[in-house]
Amino acid sequence: MLTKNQEKLIRNLSVRKNRKKTGLFVAEGMKLVTDFLNSGLVAENIFVVDSNDAKNITGPIEWISEADMKRITFLETLSPVLAVFEVPQVEELDWAGMVLVLDRLQDPGNVGTLLRTALWYGITNVVALTGTADCWSPKVVQSSMSALAHVKVHPMDEGEFLSAVKEAGTQLVIADMAGTPARGFNWTQKTALVLGNEGQGVSPVLKEMRAATITLPGDPSKMESLNVAVSGATLLYEYAVSQA
């Protein structure tokens, strides 16, 4: 049975400051919860409506009613399982290969899609600069489709990030409308690719510190720009092709 305290905790986890305070986040759906458990993430509670749906789950299961689940779900369509997990500890960033950098991306759907895309192309280190949507919010967790079970997210402020780039000897590459075509770009062994805010683009400070700027071919007279998740996915594809 769902207690009032449990319900309050889960609903409060929709707010970033509460996730930071408790170190917890919410995941919903059988595949998502199972993937997180299989990856080694620690579940504090696993709430299940139907026992038949829990046959592949091991952990602190609590049986609740459908009415209880409706009170705690963040989804429009009710899921049979909701779990509260501990946010994994931030590990030291491995600068080898490609690091994807999200600069103040505010749309949770864009962030989740880019996490999925990064993992698809074998990129497992993502920097989320201050101002970016929280990668552990319910919307990002759901839209990332289990990517967070494998991708390591490194929250940083801009100054901290630039110091780390300099120390690691990493090539800082930004995505912008005016730049070198991505196809045929000479990616180095250490690259940090920066995708900027949906409306403002990459910050002026990062632009000033860049080693290179890349872009995608298109017709700006008919379309002002691509969605950042679409352009990011295309740039990561170009990177993956260059490494094949």
What is the predicted pLDDT for the residue at 120? Answer: 97
Per-residue pLDDT band for 136 (boundaries 50, 70, 90) equals very high
Helix axes 228-243, 108-120, angle to 10 degrees: 10
pLDDT, one tens digit per residue, over 206-228 is 999 999 999 988 766 555 567 99
Dist. CA 4–CA 138, nearest whole Å = 20
Beta-carbon count within 10 A of 186 CB: 8
Distances (CA, A) of 194 to 30, 51, 104, 180: 33, 45, 10, 14
Distances (CA, A) of 70 to 74, 113, 120: 9, 26, 33
What are the backbone angles phi and psi of residue 156, rounded to the nearest 5°? -145, 155
Question: Concatenated DSSP letters for 129-176?
Answer: ETTSPPTTSHHHHHHHTTGGGTPEEEEE-HHHHHHHHHHHT-EEEEEE
Dist. CA 99–CA 238, nearest whole Å = 14
Q: Output the pTM of the full model.
A: 0.93
Looking at every residue in the chain, the average pLDDT score rounds to: 93
What are the backbone angles phi and psi of residue 110, rounded to the nearest 5°? -65, -45
Dist. CA 177–CA 211, nearest whole Å = 16
Per-residue pLDDT band for 188 (boundaries 50, 70, 90) equals confident
Dist. CA 115–CA 232, nearest whole Å = 10
What is the predicted pLDDT for the residue at 225? Answer: 67
Question: Residues 138-156: what's their mean pLDDT?
Answer: 96
What is the predicted pLDDT for the residue at 217? Answer: 83
Dist. CA 46–CA 93, nearest whole Å = 30
Q: Would you give the DSSP letter of residue 148?
A: G
Dist. CA 105–CA 129, nearest whole Å = 9
Question: Residues 38-60: what's their mean pLDDT?
Answer: 86
Beta-carbon count within 10 A of 218 CB: 13
pLDDT, one tens digit per residue, over 155-175 is 999 999 999 999 999 999 999
Dist. CA 138–CA 40, nearest whole Å = 19
What is the predicted pLDDT for the residue at 244? Answer: 80
Domains defined along the chain, listed by start:
4-86 (3.30.1330.30), 97-243 (3.40.1280.10)
For the ranges 56-60, 130-134, 184-188, the maximum mean pLDDT occurs at 130-134
Asked whether 102 and 132 are in contact (CB, 8 A), the reply is yes
